[in-house]
A and B are shown apart, each in its own frame.
Chain A
């Protein structure tokens, strides 16, 4: 089986996909997440990949298998090193035209040597480590054939010989006022060492100071280039070989290896993004994706929020959920700022990421192969005309209901807050019934606890700290909503719950 790329999609649609962000991205804070992932990888044009959920379970599992292999830190480290080296190689090759004579050939040679040592290391690591994913296995096989080909071996060997010959050269420069003379080097000691010896007796008093350094790699100046040309004149043979070599093998990069390198960035970028969260103790898991709506996740969290909190060294609260048969709508109630919106986002993010084939927040997860995500989050209030806001809301919800299918995910947040409670109850009831009948997966965030008792719904409530009702825990639990979570906590604190009062009064 030949190597067909690392992304599990066919050759043709490698980099196709959505170029613009879908409507729900802003509501789910996925814009932040995706830009956070791809920002360090700007050159690779990864955005369309991260905007394109897969529709095919096989393709998803193909990627998941690669991610599973990458859970081996050693392998990941080696691939990252390979990737960095490839970046350097390509960087050098892209600037050759601008360089001085001999410098150009020198960088070309070193790029080739770096390229060959990187793929050699990669191949060695592959042969040592256990690979399970079809993507990596097929690349490993390709690579082995490639580096054992006679043509490739000759190329590398010749390059190495030329480099060794040039590295062995030693020459004497006399730097005077406005001129430099190059001649052969006939031996001599490092004068600095002699001076160290002369002052050695003061060594008892050594005060270690930070040494001055000259910045290397500032590029070559025209003076250095001129001196290099003189060195080439002084030692014509190795430099001539170098020039001939350069002329005869202008391009050495293999297209398959290049493709692997580009595809690999998808995995590296995502792994890099989630690593800080993992080291804060948060879990990521490769979800089971299926056509079943009995979805679940344990210890899951809002990846956008967690990324921010992690960068501030703060802890992220995780939540669990599961939907059983006959339940397709989670209605979330509870105190303000208790994490209801965050929970709704988490549900949407989880599904979106799941269909990208990447590890999702959580200790384990079963997710649904959806055909679309529709969200309606309350936008910043425009108080000028509440009635028209309600109207807008209803228009929007109608649109969602008409576009979505039984395989869609619908997330509605703080709907109808501009309506009277009476209106809100009746409108909300109707919407939920419509969604239930349609069978879409839905998260519905509301203040109205009556909605939690409708058919097809599952009630989840955001919690407060029992000791201090002013502190929100950001935990959302599967629980019957009575609209009293806040009040009950306060009452318990002062020993005034119904039960406590019965106990206390003798």
Chain B
């Protein structure tokens, strides 16, 4: 296998992923119990990449601490992008460590081993991916197998192929990156560098990839979670008490204890040192992080529960994302279906957005504590470090550090 370097852009906050990104960068959001970036790094390692350069910025310490100087046998180097001024700017801040050939990837989308291997083979190439709604992405036009243009969010897309944000570059690209002007979106974008290079006679092979998991909004995490759990294979390293029912594919990591009367339907992944049950019901497509407690008479369905969170008594969590280190009072429940059964809308950065989902619960930041019988309505976005008093009803966007009674 050919030795290869990969540069991963991991510096952005991902403001559309708030409140989850108030306390971590977007690339560290966990899906199937691993940060998005970890999935990417593992897949790159399998594809033969032996050195990874992480361009970090927003809450960079969380990335540095998690991956260290070496991860899964791959050397990790860091480069700091002080301000996030675009993808070309990010690449420029890594210029001093670049090899003659390298891959460049956005750290917030997951691509897989086989597709990456195709890219590693190309000297200059761009991963393209076919989608039904290309107008929402950068659309790639291909002539004779080479990229001829990349157009951001065109009204009438001429192709269904979009830019997956994964590139194979030679160092010559830097001549264009350095001279890339600021775009109409106010950023220095590597797609503009590519367009300049193409008009100068450079050829970039359009490499069509089979799988691409992009996470734009918090509810996309649930879809990604579902996709990554779909091929799960059971592995029980924890302890299972008598009278526990496990159906389908379930991972229980070491140190975890599943207590009597628990009923688990896979695919479900349960991290290390969790206490599950007794008498709880965990339904498909649920990821539970390390050191969690899911207690008596609790039902969890199609949700991501991050580490150190306690959901201990008489709770219902459906189609939701719960941050780290939360503690739910007895009887706190999250609604996940409107009474009129319409699609759930949420408020993101001041705009009302339709999730397209009929069943969607809440997104809850880190360190949230709720009192007994607190009720959380569909589509609620609750900031980190929020206290919700007993019996309170919460809906809409709740700013971090709020107190709700």
Q: Determine if chain A interacts with chain B.
A: no
Chain B residues with CB under 8 Å of chain A are none
Chain A residues with CB under 8 Å of chain B are none
